[in-house]
Structure 1
Amino acid sequence: MSTDYQQAREALGLSLRELRLTAPGGRLTGELLAERLGSNWTKSKVSKLENGRQTATADELQAWAEATGHPEARDGLLAQLRSFESHIRSWRRQLASGHRPVQEAITAEHDRTRVLTIWENVLVPGMLQTADYARHVLTRHANLMQSPRDTEDAVRTRIRRQEGLYEPGRKYRILIWEGAIHSLVCPPSVLAAQLDRLASVIGLDTLELGIVPFTASLEIYPGNGFWIYDERRVVVEDWHAELWLDDTDSIATYLRVWNMLRKSAVYGTDAQNLITRVQRSVCPH
Structure 2
Amino acid sequence: MEMPSRFLSSQPDIRGDAGVPDGRELKACCASLYEAGIVRYLLGESFHPGGLALTGRLGEALGLGPADVVLDVACGQGASACYLAKTFGCRVVGVDLSEASLHHARQRAVAEGVADRVRCLRGDAERIPASDGQFTTAVCECSLCLFPDKPAALRDVHRALRPLGRIGITDVALDPERLPAEWRGTLSRAACLGDARPASEYRRLLQDAGFTDLLVEDHAAALREMAQGIGKRILLAKIAQGLGKLDPGMLDLDEALRVVKAAGRLIDDGTITYVLLTGVRP
Do both proteins adopt the same fold according to a TM-score greater than 0.5, normalized to the shorter chain? Answer: no
More helix by share: 1
Relative to the length of structure 1, the TM-score reads 0.28
More strand by share: 2
**Greater RCO structure (CA 8 Å; 6+ sep):** 2
User: Larger Rg: 1 or 2?
Assistant: 1
Relative to the length of structure 2, the TM-score reads 0.28
